[in-house]
Chains A and B, each alone.
Chain A
């Protein structure tokens, strides 16, 4: 089976790919790709040891577009904000989420960012610039439109970036939010991840257009389709869209064609995915392999430097795991506070005192 066609990326200046990135930046991108993959592999091990409480969602094959799109943002206190999906662990790490936070979240630890209230990567740090999703796909599009609206109202040169999966573009909130953002010319970039599977449903059962970009164009939003497993292409497309949004030109949609190489979650054996297709993506279109080969072939970095990063990441993930794996779960009654600011805690029910 052929790989998906990638359109010429004519909507932004192509130039020499990666020319704008310094060696340090190239290595940093490699670091985040490696960190994403190693951290997920560690989570798989913890899942098999039943230390992960809920489901485990992999981003294998999608690390490239996650890391590259987030890396194009202006990061730091009161800069750009992104809202990741379940397969954008890499984006969150780029924005400054710490491996120990991810590990604690999956293991529902008392000291996890949500103190055991929410799962996996559903957490946020607006100062660092990420807003966790809720499970209702599409809902983050209007929410990010509101964040972008606040940037516009305050005249801040900030942009909001929000991800949506191919299946997620079937939701009403996706369309309502995209349309509102378009009408208001909000500084927002939407990354549409065409990873070919919405749980077990393929694109042809999800929509009748060929590309997600066609949907965005229906709202008067410029849209481009890029090879989602080409880190440089995604980075450049995102950079272009962000600059444009920052200049007050409104929403931009980037469709990244990629492939989900694991099941919906760890429990799903993805028997519905043809094995030869998986092999093809794994062997000849892995975003990390492609990135590594490219930066090595162009003599932009040395193999030794990549090996050092691999080692550094392994040690960091080991240390983070050791630091939290035996931490306690939250105390039962900590379930009651924080539903409201006022009243500060929900009432403990009478039968608990019998």
Chain B
């Protein structure tokens, strides 16, 4: 066992897949000799050569488009967005070209687009985004969003091996903040499409993913201690396709649901989850499905502003307390 960070686990996953399968290659901005803006691909160009770790121009659409073309030919590209905020420049390529390829034309497009997302880091409006909702609406794409060190590794490996295009979102606040003992020599593969119960509970369920998993776990501990409320926390891990069975199961167990995400509220994933609970477990609810999300504003830079806009542990505690008394 060795203690590794989230970032190191991601790096290990990429490295192992590059070693295992020569069809896997990386392309993106500054990913080569420099090793990536966050050093995720540090040392890769030296080990695997610059033909498999390709520095590209600042052209997100071309990065994703070229990855698609290479994937059609049987390669397994991993395209890095330097910050996931810039994925909007490749929105057309991903949604119109990549996501539809199998359905409309029978084309295999096994590829991963990954990049650092998320706030709590004073990154301002263009280095803090969570773009998942913009892609949730895209049949043909899969979206994974690991929250733990183990899943950072297990999901990148599964994403690379998946025969469908996968958007892998990695929260930069978690990169070096969380650590976990990972077994050496064991193949870690997190199945895509399966949520995980991060904490067992009886009275109320929090459904979340990404950085807010950790804030939800903090909140759950406080609620247990201060209120005697037993909170179950479900870490979704995959956002597309959603694990309906796991969602319905926790609702039936606790009968109250708080959905927490860092992305803004309107049109966010919480709305979709609430709709599914309404359709599949309405009779089991003992209270309204509530949401704790970012406010509906672009993410501001100043600490006072960012802290107010993004959901914090205290916000989750207050919301859960209100719901538990409903």
Residues of A within 8 A of B (CB): 114, 117-118, 122-124, 126, 131-132, 134-136, 139, 141-151, 153, 160, 172-173, 176-177, 179-180, 183-184, 338-343, 346, 350
Q: Interface code B201-219, partner A: CB below 8 Å = 1, 0 otherwise?
A: 0000000000000000000
- Say yes or no for B119: interface residue by CB 8 A criterion: no
Since A142-B64, A143-B72, A160-B69 are in contact, a sample of 15 more A-B pairs with Cβ atoms closer than 8 Å, ordered by chain A residue number, is A118-B105, A124-B107, A126-B107, A142-B66, A145-B62, A146-B66, A146-B73, A147-B73, A149-B70, A153-B51, A184-B54, A338-B106, A339-B102, A340-B102, A346-B139
* In contact, B67 and A146 (Cβ under 8 angstroms): yes
* In contact, A338 and B97 (Cβ under 8 angstroms): no
* In contact, A145 and B142 (Cβ under 8 angstroms): no
**On chain B, which size bracket covers the interface?**
35 or more
* In contact, B65 and A339 (Cβ under 8 angstroms): no
Determine the distance from Cα of A112 to Cα of B65 in the docked complex, in whole angstroms: 26
- Say yes or no for B25: interface residue by CB 8 A criterion: yes
* In contact, A141 and B65 (Cβ under 8 angstroms): yes
* In contact, B25 and A142 (Cβ under 8 angstroms): no
A-B contact pairs, 24 of them (CB 8 A): A117-B104, A134-B97, A139-B61, A139-B93, A139-B97, A142-B66, A142-B68, A142-B93, A143-B72, A145-B62, A147-B69, A147-B73, A149-B70, A153-B75, A173-B92, A173-B93, A176-B61, A177-B62, A179-B62, A184-B54, A340-B164, A341-B163, A342-B162, A346-B139
In the complex, the chain B residue whose C-beta lies closest to that of A172 is: B61
Chain B residues in 8 Å Cβ range of A124:
105-107
Contacting A at CB under 8 A, from B31-61, are 51-52, 54, 56-57, 59, 61
Determine the distance from Cα of A180 to Cα of B163 in the docked complex, in whole angstroms: 26
Determine the distance from Cα of A145 to Cα of B61 in the docked complex, in whole angstroms: 12
- Say yes or no for B9: interface residue by CB 8 A criterion: no
* In contact, A340 and B142 (Cβ under 8 angstroms): yes
User: Given that A123-B105, A150-B69, A150-B73 are contacting pairs, would A342 and B163 also be in contact in the complex, using a CB cutoff of 8 Å?
Assistant: yes
Chain B residues in 8 Å Cβ range of A114:
104-106
* In contact, B70 and A150 (Cβ under 8 angstroms): yes
* In contact, B66 and A183 (Cβ under 8 angstroms): no
* In contact, A126 and B57 (Cβ under 8 angstroms): no
In the complex, the chain A residue whose C-beta lies closest to that of B163 is: A341
Which of A123, A124, A139 has its CB near the most chain B CB atoms (within 10 A)? A139
* In contact, A339 and B66 (Cβ under 8 angstroms): no
B241 CB to closest chain A CB, in angstroms? 7
